[in-house]
Amino acid sequence: MNYSVRKGFFALISLICVMSLSFLFSFGISTALEQWKSVVPSKSPGITLGGKGLILSNTLNKNVTAVVLLNGAVDPLGPRVVAIPNQPMTFQRAASADFDLPPIPFGDDTPWFLKNIEIDIRLNAEMFQRKYSQGFFSYLFYVGALIYLLCSLGYVIKFSAWPLANLFLTILAFRGILALNTFFNSKEMQMITASFLENKIPVVNALPFIFLGFGTLINLYSFLVFIAKRRVNDDD
């Protein structure tokens, strides 16, 4: 949408085209994921995780005890090498009751910002699939309203003459809406919204109406700015 604004394409046609393509892409992905559940998985033999020399440690904390299972996970109480911080490594023929095994490091060192984005994307994807399972019109109303709001941002994110700067500003705006969507879909916010609406409209429809309202305000603002600039050019 931002590109169409810079190139001077007709606004209404650009909005309809981008919204249509975005919805078709989203609906196609949701349909593929829903159909994927019915695909029979291929049979494969079970795989034992961790062979001989399996190291148990915690990558999130380097100053912890590490244990090397010489026979792997198939014999967790068998011979092992224990590495305690600031002490020489010791060999044990069997498990000792002096200490417990350290936790298996399922965590990672991914930055918090990327983890936060991954969580929001996963929660929004789950919401999309729930709307898809509720029916086409429920999916169309929710996803269509969200796409309408996101496409409306293309006319606002043009604060500078640098396209790259506008692109990054658009990405930040998309990130904010992604977080806002997760925030409003939380149980606490749904309870607050339900008490505020007083059963006038279903709480599940409140968020799409908010998207439609914000998107309409943005488009109205963009239209008024366009009219104002046109009058200034006519006066010149």
pLDDT digits (tens, 9 = 90+) for 8-40: 777 788 888 989 999 999 999 999 988 887 777
Half-sphere exposure of 205 (CA within 13 A, CB side): 9
Q: What share of the chain is helix, strand, coil (3-state, %, to 5)?
A: 60, 5, 35
Greater pLDDT, 136 or 185: 136
- Give the pLDDT of residue 60: 56
**Tokens matching residue 220:** 């109205």
Residue 43 CA to chain centroid, in angstroms? 31
pLDDT tens digits, one per residue of 99-146: 555 555 545 566 777 788 888 888 888 888 889 988 899 899 999 999
Residue at 73 is within a domain: no
Judge whether 89 lies within some domain. no
**How many CA atoms, within 13 angstroms, populate the side-chain half-sphere of residue 90?**
11
Long-range contacts (CB closer than 8 Å, 24 or more residues apart) made by 50-55? none
| Structural contact between residues 66 and 83, judged by C-beta atoms closer than 8 angstroms | yes
Q: Which two tokens stand for residue 53?
A: 């020399």
Query: Is the confidence at residue 199, as pLDDT, over 80?
Result: no
DSSP code at position 67: E
Q: How far apart are CA 173 and CA 155, in angstroms?
A: 12
- Measured CA to CA, the distance from residue 51 to residue 107 in angstroms comes to 20
In a domain, 92, yes or no: no
Predicted confidence at residue 20, as pLDDT, reads 92
- Are 173 and 153 a contacting pair, CB within 8 Å? yes
* 25 neighbors 128 (Cβ within 8 angstroms): no
- β-pairing verdict for 90-92 and 66-69: unpaired
Which domain range does residue 127 map to?
2-35+110-235
Q: How much is the pLDDT for 188?
A: 81
What pLDDT score does 94 carry? 78
pLDDT of residue 96: 65
Residue 83 lies inside a defined structural domain of this protein? no
Cβ atoms within 10 Å of 55's Cβ, excluding its own: 14
Residue 55 falls inside a structural domain: no
Domain presence at residue 223: yes
User: What's the chain's average pLDDT?
Assistant: 79
Q: Which residues contact 96 (CB under 8 A, 6 or more apart)?
A: 82
Amino acid at 195: S
Whole-number pLDDT of residue 151: 85
Answer yes or no: is 123 within a domain: yes
Query: How does pLDDT run across 50-74, given as a tens digit for each residue?
Result: 678 888 776 555 556 778 888 877 7
Number of domains in the chain: 1
Domain assignment present for residue 184? The answer is: yes
Counting every residue, how long is the chain?
Answer: 236
